[in-house]
Structure 1
Amino acid sequence: LASERLASERPASERPVPARPVSERPEPERPVRGAGNCATSPHDEQLSQHSETTPKTPNPTRRLIVSRIVGGAAATAAVATVGYGTYGVLRGPSVKRVTVPLAKLPRAAHGYRIAVVSDIHLGPILGRGFAQRVVDTINATQPDLIAVVGDLVDGSVKDLGPAAAPLAQLSARHGAFFVTGNHEYFSGAAQWVEEVRRLGLRPLENARTELDRFDLAGVNDIAGESTGQGPDFDRALGDRDPARACVLLAHQPVQIHEAVRHHVDLQLSGHTHGGQLWPGNLIAAAANPTVAGLDRYGDTQLYVSRGAGAWGPPTRVWAPSDITVVELASKQA
């Protein structure tokens, strides 16, 4: 009692403060990040910098799924493209029509139609049935003349004679003519020249024939030079009448330079397949002055067919096969 009385008699500033229960004590204030100038600890700054500089790791499962989808789509597109290209070859060539005006062509020859077919490439895959489709397509155009400008076969007469037999059915008012391509010289050119002659075609071996309204000439392929049977432009064109229009059959487009020198009006060629498929398109463009279609070199025009068949894989990509009906036009008409 005496101690309680003494305590009560002390000034208020000297009296002891009773302790609060733990449940009633206020919680210490915590610093708020990014609020004004509140201080942050070095540890907090390190965590903040780490979270800002560390890249997020992509989900490996998602990346795998995306790569599989892209790869599958590319494979599907490739297979579809090759499949369609193969179907395009096997079903046979389509017909393309081109009008070519010739300054020296007389009015009476205006509208004269030449069916141009090259690079049929008869062989183990493109056989007799394919040859029949080509012949039927040509005959359906009812041409005045048919020009077969090389690379008819990929094999010997013994092996492919039956496959070429439908060529005997080719029909045109002024007949069908033939010049050799480079593949004939891999397959026995002399035997094939005789075989096509037997089938009713007329070979033009560095030769010329004077038709009613213009001259038609043909030269051997460059590949024949190895056997002494190469092209001879002087023999085919040297003594002709320059006042008459002249159409030349020559398998390779590079022969255009000699045609220009001999004042040919129109050269009809093949050989390139229009590129056929990559990387053939790059090779064809590098090796030939014109890959496909109609072009002009000085006073001489050059038409290059994409060909009716295919060499190597029987497929074409962005270079469809064709038989071209070239219609000559007179500037006097």
Structure 2
Amino acid sequence: MRFAVFHWVMVLIVLWRFVLPLSIRRPLKWLLALFFVSIALFSSAATMFFGGLLSPELPRGVIVVKEAFEAFLLFTTGLVLAREVVIFFTVLAGRSGEKAHRAVQKDRRTAIGLAAAGAVLGGAALYGGIKVPDVARRTIYVPGLPEALSGFEFVQLSDTHVSALLTKTWAEGLVERVNSLNPKLVLITGDLVDGRVERRLEDIAPFGRIKAEFGVFGCDGNHEQYGEYERWKQIFADLGIRMLRNEHVALEVAGAKLVLAGVCDPMAARFGREMPDAAKAFAGAPDGADAVRILMAHQPKFFPRYREAANFALQLSGHTHGGQILGMDRVVAIMNGNFVRGLYRTDPAKLPGKDAQMYVHPGSGLWNGFAVRMGAPSEIALIRLERAPAEKTAA
């Protein structure tokens, strides 16, 4: 419902500040207005009648067209607002407001240029949102890392959101790219799939072909809570993905211990399921000079709370999708404890003696209700652990 309102607000802005001032014939103006209204109607209908906001069940081609029009509307609205800012400052500078309005609001050539720019930006953002992600190599320096684990590499995936948009073909491309890295370990930090088991079983099947020497592990995201939770638990297990829910596993790597833990997602509260408990997740886990502890927690905003409750060196999170669009990412950061993408450290003033780092993955996919990215690309994170002094962070 919130996104439907968002679309209608954008349509009203475009109608008021873009369509109505144009110096074109009235029938053309009405057709243009109808076009923008149709975008919002299409989006609202998809949400209300075809599977809901989280997983609209439409043919992929229809979803791509829907998302393309919505991307066009989004960027056109942004450009219209930017144009209004130009007019405002022109008037403040003492120039003729009427002249500025004629030049940038009523002129058809200006309107065509603005619409073309909206289409180009929207198309580029849609492509960035639905393409198979590229590999991003990250090095994280962990103080006190056991020598045997220095140089250890693993893959982190997050927010794959396999859906009617990111289908089996997309999943196959993702898995092929992951396997080409010959990873020792693959970790998936939540939001694996959107939709009912019957709809998504074929689309998620390629995840069963991920190859990793030490296995594939994951943790729940908020989207895991919305669907057929118990059935998906079994499907993930059948695919060879071990989901860690307030529990851990200790892997033996060249004589050192790599402790992986995962917490449940806070959205579990809405459904009466187990809440995240970092202390429980690490209970009884190795914790010495020959061990390093990694926590998987889908939502990053609870990082300080988890570190206060349990000892670990690195948290891996997702959820934010990196903000998806440069500029909008600042708003997303505020909603997520000022974490949005990249590497963060605990604040020594707030958590003295409890140093830890967190890598917030920008997402490998995205949900098909807002399928655009610009300036915040998706990724397959290939993370390399290196031993380093405490003051060193990451590359």
Fold match by TM threshold 0.5: yes
Task: Name the TM-score, length of structure 2 as normaliser.
Answer: 0.66
Alignment root-mean-square deviation, CA: 2.5
**Cα gap change, 1:314/1:63 in structure 2, threshold over 3 Å: closer, same or farther?**
closer
Do 2:300 and 2:318's aligned partners in 1 also have CA atoms closer than 8 Å?
A: yes
- 2:248 corresponds, among 199, 205, 208, to 208
AA partner of residue 154 (structure 1): D
Quick one: distance in 2 between partners of 1:155 and 1:190? 13
**Cα gap change, 1:71/1:195 in structure 2, threshold over 3 Å: closer, same or farther?**
same
Q: Secondary structure at the match of 2:343?
A: strand
- 2:176 corresponds, among 116, 136, 150, to 136
Instruction: Indicate the structure with greater helix content.
Output: 2
Q: Are positions 1:199 and 2:239 aligned together?
A: yes
Do 2:250 and 2:285's aligned partners in 1 also have CA atoms closer than 8 Å?
A: no
TM-superposed deviation, 1:258:
2.7
Q: Deviations over 1:13-71 (max 9, x none)?
A: xxxxxxxxxxxxxxxxxxxxxxxxxxxxxxxxxxxxxxxxxx99x89997489733332
Identity %: 33
Partner residue in 1 for 2:280: 235
Do 1:225 and 1:231's aligned partners in 2 also have CA atoms closer than 8 Å?
A: no
Do 1:259 and 1:267's aligned partners in 2 also have CA atoms closer than 8 Å?
A: no
Partner residue in 2 for 1:219: 263
Q: Are positions 1:314 and 2:371 aligned together?
A: yes
Partner residue in 1 for 2:112: 72
AA partner of residue 199 (structure 1): L
Partner residue in 1 for 2:313: 265
AA partner of residue 255 (structure 1): F
Quick one: distance in 2 between partners of 1:63 and 1:260? 57
Partner residue in 2 for 1:6: none
Partner residue in 2 for 1:113: 153
Partner residue in 1 for 2:199: 159
AA partner of residue 210 (structure 1): A
Do 1:86 and 1:316's aligned partners in 2 also have CA atoms closer than 8 Å?
A: yes
Quick one: distance in 1 between partners of 2:146 and 2:140? 13
TM-superposed deviation, 1:81:
1.2
TM-superposed deviation, 1:223:
0.8
AA partner of residue 199 (structure 2): D
Partner residue in 1 for 2:345: 296
Q: Deviations over 1:271-324 (max 9, x none)?
A: 000111378524411111310001111411010111111221322122111111
Partner residue in 1 for 2:185: 145
Do 1:208 and 1:218's aligned partners in 2 also have CA atoms closer than 8 Å?
A: yes
Q: Secondary structure at the match of 2:188?
A: strand
Do 1:107 and 1:331's aligned partners in 2 also have CA atoms closer than 8 Å?
A: no
AA partner of residue 376 (structure 2): A
State which structure, 1 or 2, has the greater radius of gyration over its C-alpha atoms: 1
Q: Deviations over 1:165-190 (max 9, x none)?
A: 00011011101101110001011222
Q: Secondary structure at the match of 1:102?
A: strand
Structure 1: tracts of 5 or more residues without a match: 1-54
Do 1:259 and 1:300's aligned partners in 2 also have CA atoms closer than 8 Å?
A: no
Quick one: distance in 1 between partners of 2:318 and 2:108? 42
Quick one: distance in 1 between partners of 2:172 and 2:127? 17
Do 2:105 and 2:111's aligned partners in 1 also have CA atoms closer than 8 Å?
A: no
AA partner of residue 143 (structure 1): P
Q: Residues 275-290 of structure 1: matches in 2 within 5 Å? A: 275-277=323-325, 281-289=329-337, 290=339
Do 1:176 and 1:200's aligned partners in 2 also have CA atoms closer than 8 Å?
A: yes
Partner residue in 2 for 1:250: 297
TM-superposed deviation, 1:139:
1.1
Quick one: distance in 2 between partners of 1:139 and 1:236? 29
TM-superposed deviation, 1:241:
3.4
Q: Residues 41-56 of structure 1: matches in 2 within 5 Å? A: none
Count of aligned pairs between the two proteins? 278
**Cα gap change, 1:134/1:64 in structure 2, threshold over 3 Å: closer, same or farther?**
closer
Q: Deviations over 1:230-255 (max 9, x none)?
A: 21212111333332310111101012
**Cα gap change, 1:73/1:144 in structure 2, threshold over 3 Å: closer, same or farther?**
same
Quick one: distance in 2 between partners of 1:63 and 1:253? 46
Q: Are positions 1:168 and 2:208 aligned together?
A: yes
Do 1:293 and 1:305's aligned partners in 2 also have CA atoms closer than 8 Å?
A: yes
**Cα gap change, 1:197/1:64 in structure 2, threshold over 3 Å: closer, same or farther?**
closer
Quick one: distance in 1 between partners of 2:372 and 2:278? 34
Quick one: distance in 1 between partners of 2:292 and 2:144? 5
TM-superposed deviation, 1:193:
1.7
TM-superposed deviation, 1:155:
0.8
